[in-house]
Amino acid sequence: DIVMTQSPDSLAVSLGERATINCKSSQSLLYSSNNKNYLAWYQQKPGQPPKLLIYWASTRESGVPDRFSGSGSGTDFTLTISSLQAEDVAVYYCQQYFFTPLTFGPGTKVDI
């Protein structure tokens, strides 16, 4: 199984400041046939289901504010919130969707 790790476990960022979350996979998520990384980022607010933010490591889902961006390739990925807003307080998960079993990182809690 592909193991996903995230760092840090939690972080507190001032409003308007940058938040950076790292995700590492135990195997490469880059598929050479299409040059795509099978890595997604989800946001989960308290009492709500996860919401898809980013897929293919860097493609923003429709309607997601452009302060959210994803980068990375292979085994190392990053989610960046360029200017943290109050509504961004949540737990963020990375997920690999390359192989079953699909696996998620343990989550990173972002607070103000």
Partner 1 sequence: EVQLVESGGGLVQPGGSLRLSCAASGFTFSSHWMHWVRQAPGKGLVWVSRIYGDGSSPTYADSVKGRFTISRDNARNTLYLQMNSLGAEDTALYYCTRGSTAAGNLGDYWGQGTLVTVSS
Chain contacts with partner 1 (rule: CB under 8 A): 38, 40, 42, 44, 48-52, 55-56, 61, 93, 95, 97-98, 100-107
Question: Which of 9, 20, 6 minimizes the C-alpha distance to 71?
Answer: 20
Q: Which residues does residue 12 pair with via DSSP β-bridges, in sequence order?
A: 111
Nearest approach in angstroms of CB 41 to partner 1 is 11
Q: Which is nearer to partner 1, 8 or 106 (CB)?
A: 106
Nearest approach in angstroms of CB 26 to partner 1 is 16
Q: Which is nearer to partner 1, 19 or 42 (CB)?
A: 42
Q: Count the residues in the chain.
A: 112
Q: Which is nearer to partner 1, 78 or 104 (CB)?
A: 104
95's CB contacts (< 8 A; 6+ apart) are 4, 39, 40, 41, 42, 102, 103, 104, 105
Nearest approach in angstroms of CB 20 to partner 1 is 20
Helices and strands of the chain, counted as H and E runs: 0, 13
